[in-house]
A and B are shown apart, each in its own frame.
Chain A
């Protein structure tokens, strides 16, 4: 399977714990995105990377959220000191955007469902 993969698919944690999610994009894709989706809502953009550079992070929900893409391949999203309000589906997407061009088709992974108790 050459699609976007995410790990784990489900995570249950206690309030106050740190969690880290991993995303493996489609191999040749240079852009990687993180979204959060709560029940009954559409996905909400959090941050994105162009190769290893994080080009927008202003939408990260608080300073407890951080993301990395150290080698321009896989990415991790970490939530520190989790709160019950962090319970949601965390989606990763990737796309191939040639230099100087745009695009709008993003390929999403299956998501990681986080439950904070």
Chain B
């Protein structure tokens, strides 16, 4: 499974757009990029998944450049409740779907 690298933590002010980056230099052709969010004392929650270019849903946008060696999760106008750990994962969608989490990025939203 391709390994990912994320910043350990970041702070943002309430109401701002937050962009969280992830590096995955060894991503394979069949790999997708998936982001999960985890609040304290809860299980992770799926946010968004993409293969290339841009994907948007009601929660976030995912930007993937042409070389796919990195990706950026964008959270518009964050609120205090967006304080969480954000995990970037890469892997194909076949087989056992075993998720390989790294340490994630702790995002703290400040009033």
Contact = CB atoms under 8 A, between A and B. Distances in A.
Interface of A: 4, 31, 33, 35, 40-45, 48, 55-56, 59, 91-93, 95, 97, 101-111, 113
A48 B98 CA distance: 8
A50 B36 CA distance: 22
Contact of A102 (B45, B93, B100, B104): B93
User: Chain B binding site: helix, strand, loop or mixed by DSSP?
Assistant: loop
Contacts of A106: 46, 97, 99
Contacts of A108: 42-45
A104 B96 contact: no
Contact of A42 (B34, B42, B87, B97): B87
Interface of B: 32, 34, 41-46, 49, 85, 87, 89, 91-104
Given A95-B97, A111-B42, 7 more contacts: A41-B103, A43-B101, A102-B93, A105-B49, A106-B97, A110-B43, A113-B41
Contact of A91 (B43, B89, B103, B104): B43
B26 to A, nearest CB: 18
Contacts of A56: 96, 98
A42 B44 CA distance: 9
A61 B63 CA distance: 36
Nearest to A40: B103
B102 A42 contact: yes
Contact of B101 (A42, A59, A110, A113): A42
A52 B45 CA distance: 24
A31 B93 CA distance: 14
Nearest to A109: B43
A44 B46 contact: no
B28 to A, nearest CB: 14
Given A103-B93, A105-B46, A42 B32 contact: no
Contacts of A43: 43-44, 99, 101
A105 B37 CA distance: 12
A59 B98 CA distance: 10
A19 B17 CA distance: 44
Nearest to A91: B43
